[in-house]
Amino acid sequence: FSSAVAAGRAQVQQEPSAETTEGTGISINCSHPNIQPFEFIYWYRLFPGRGPALITVIQKDSKVLGDPLGRLWVAADRRSSRLWLARPRLGDAAVYYCALGD
């Protein structure tokens, strides 16, 4: 299982790639140091040959995710967020990225 991550907009920064084995949890971090108070954090995943699929939208705190199974956290200062995939399956291999928007 391997997963690549990419920045959704110039306002966010992510590591270029992350890798894990099937069933082993992985965290994907996103830095958004210039986030504005009115902006939301969007997390997407992109499977080969398909358009981006929205995973979730969040502004603060954290939330449990059902597909992919895991959790999303936002730092108290909102300058970063972290997507944790609890038990990734081979079918979860995709590009995961975050973006900011109104």
> Is the per-residue pLDDT at 7 higher than 80?
no
pLDDT value, residue 59: 94
> Is the per-residue pLDDT at 69 higher than 60?
yes
> Is the per-residue pLDDT at 2 higher than 90?
no
Query: Average per-residue pLDDT in the chain?
Result: 88
Look up the CATH number of the domain holding residue 65: 2.60.40.10
pLDDT value, residue 4: 43
Domains contained in the chain, number: 1
Q: 29 and 89 in contact (C-beta within 8 Å)?
A: no
Asked whether residue 34 is assigned to any structural domain, the reply reads yes
Asked whether residue 20 is assigned to any structural domain, the reply reads no
| Nearest CA-CA partner of 75 in 59, 64, 96 | 59
- Residue 79: domain span: 30-101
Chain-centre distance for alpha carbon 47: 14
Asked whether residue 37 is assigned to any structural domain, the reply reads yes
0.95 surpassed by pTM: no
> Is the per-residue pLDDT at 5 higher than 80?
no
Asked whether residue 46 is assigned to any structural domain, the reply reads yes
Asked whether residue 16 is assigned to any structural domain, the reply reads no
Asked whether residue 45 is assigned to any structural domain, the reply reads yes
Asked whether residue 49 is assigned to any structural domain, the reply reads yes
